[in-house]
Structure 1
Amino acid sequence: MALAISLHQIGRLELFRSLPNGALEEVRTAMRTERVSKGAVIFKQGERTGQAYALATGSVRIVQTGSDGGQTIVRFIGPGEMFGTLPLFTDHRFPADAVTIEPATMLAWRETDLMDLMARYPAISLNVISVLGTRMAQLQERVRELTTQRAEQRMAHAILRLAAQAGSDSTCGATIEIPLRRKDLAEFAGTTLHTASRIVSAWEKAGLLANNGQRLVIHDLAALRALAEGNRD
């Protein structure tokens, strides 16, 4: 059964920001909605695509597998973010898997419908360029970190990125509203599960972090920023 998505929700999607209500109505008419369960594979690395995706609720991990079988988490997707769209402008093959971390509401547009909307509303094209440019800069920064920084610094940067992307403030600190396993943090920071577990445990003992279920709570953002910059004091 189709799920009700308001024009306000569609207007908050990064792909359709700044569009007038008339355009948002056309976007909603062309949109397909689907409720997906936890652990569902939305698409697989190497598959051909003919759609663009966005997330209305829930969270998704984007996982890339190398030729040696090793995996890395390229990105986490939260509500309002587009994903699986870049291949429409390249070779039409997904560069990674998209897997739901929790039950989610997925939105999708056929390639022909999206291209038609982009032709009539150039703001969508500008939004696509802006989003892809931002993500490219983020990936370049992560590559720099992988080649120049210790695992502890990379872990701090990874947690700070997630807090900026999906953090909510509370009396006890900033809570990352994406369920995270230590394996997720390890892959996202480019380190081993053993190392990630050791670092997180030490930070929890020091009072910097806490776990609330699978939600990570940051008690001391300033200390975490100092660690990211290589200051151990």
Structure 2
Amino acid sequence: MTPQRIDRSVLKELDIFATMADEDLDAVLQSAHTRRLATGVSVFNQGDPAAEFFALLHGRLKVTQTAPDGQQILVRHVHPGDIYGIAKAIRRSDYPGTATAVVESLTMVWPINQWDFLVARCPALAVNALATVGARLQEAHTRIRELGTEGVERRVAHALLRLVHQAGRKTDEGILIDFPITRLDIAEMTGATLHTVSRLLSAWEGRGLVSSSRKKIVVCNPHGLVALADGRAEQD
């Protein structure tokens, strides 16, 4: 497929580019193109040489890592406006995980050899990229703390609340996590088994906290879920 160019106005709608001057945006666009991703297509795979970096314009991706024993971990989701694949910013020559489209998506792509030029030419991009790396590090620290100090029920509740914060959309049922998410995904995010996550979600459905079906989760009672995440009994 022939790469497509994109208009400057589209970039201005994304937080990471919103504060940049027009001339800086033009510099960013000069070496960029767009790529459409079908559901299930990988943008890059764990261990591949880091030849490009990206910003998601539309859709959702998931980033997974596979441990030496073959166990897969869901590291995070990529949302519209996120910059990702910036291995060079953390002094890596390869991608530490695999990024896969969970819905049809559209991403911007730059050659990795443009990274140093762009962050030097556009200080706002460097600042925003640093903030992105910092936010991911903070989330990783939070998840490590949860794994070490909290039971599985609290970990799953925290995971759902993070997804609500990142991609929640109000509906008549409650707050829909607005992209396909499976019970296996939740298990991989929280260090739990699929059986345990399925049992918890079924129990929470019976209490009116959530509603779930194939690749769909709605949080019906956010306050009750917050109480569980905090280790408190749900308040009626």
Alpha-carbon deviations, 1:110-145, whole Å to 9, x = none? 122232121111111111111111110110010000
Residues in 2 aligned to 1:106 and 1:161: alpha-carbon distance in whole angstroms: 23
Residues in 1 aligned to 2:188 and 2:48: alpha-carbon distance in whole angstroms: 22
Quote how far apart the aligned CAs of 1:87 are: 4.0
Residues in 2 aligned to 1:190 and 1:82: alpha-carbon distance in whole angstroms: 26
Q: TM-score under structure 2 normalisation? A: 0.92
SS in 2 for 1:232: coil
Does 2:153 align with 1:159? no
Alpha-carbon deviations, 1:152-172, whole Å to 9, x = none? 100000001011111122343
Residues in 2 aligned to 1:109 and 1:145: alpha-carbon distance in whole angstroms: 35
**In the alignment, which residue of structure 2 is the partner of 1:102?**
103
Matches within 5 A, 1:116-135: 116-135=117-136
- Number of paired residues? 233
Structure 1: give runs of 5+ residues left out of the alignment.
none
SS in 1 for 2:175: strand
CA contact (8 A) 2:87 2:94 kept: no
Does 2:187 align with 1:199? no
Worse-superposed segment, 52-61 or 168-177: 168-177
CA contact (8 A) 1:50 1:88 kept: no
What percent of counterpart residues are identical?
33
Quote how far apart the aligned CAs of 1:210 are: 1.4
**In the alignment, which residue of structure 2 is the partner of 1:214?**
215
Structure 2: give runs of 5+ residues left out of the alignment.
none
Q: TM-score under structure 1 normalisation? A: 0.93
Worse-superposed segment, 172-181 or 124-133: 172-181
**In the alignment, which residue of structure 2 is the partner of 1:84?**
85
Residues in 1 aligned to 2:11 and 2:61: alpha-carbon distance in whole angstroms: 18
SS in 1 for 2:127: helix
Residues in 2 aligned to 1:111 and 1:87: alpha-carbon distance in whole angstroms: 8
SS in 2 for 1:207: coil
> What residue identity is the alignment partner of 2:136?
R
CA 1:209–1:6: 2 relative to 1, 3 Å: farther
Residues in 2 aligned to 1:199 and 1:6: alpha-carbon distance in whole angstroms: 46
> What residue identity is the alignment partner of 2:229?
A
Worse-superposed segment, 38-47 or 167-176: 167-176
Two-structure CA RMSD over aligned residues (Å): 1.7
CA contact (8 A) 1:48 1:92 kept: yes
**In the alignment, which residue of structure 2 is the partner of 1:74?**
75
SS in 1 for 2:113: helix
> What residue identity is the alignment partner of 1:192?
T
Residues in 1 aligned to 2:13 and 2:135: alpha-carbon distance in whole angstroms: 17
Quote how far apart the aligned CAs of 1:88 are: 4.4
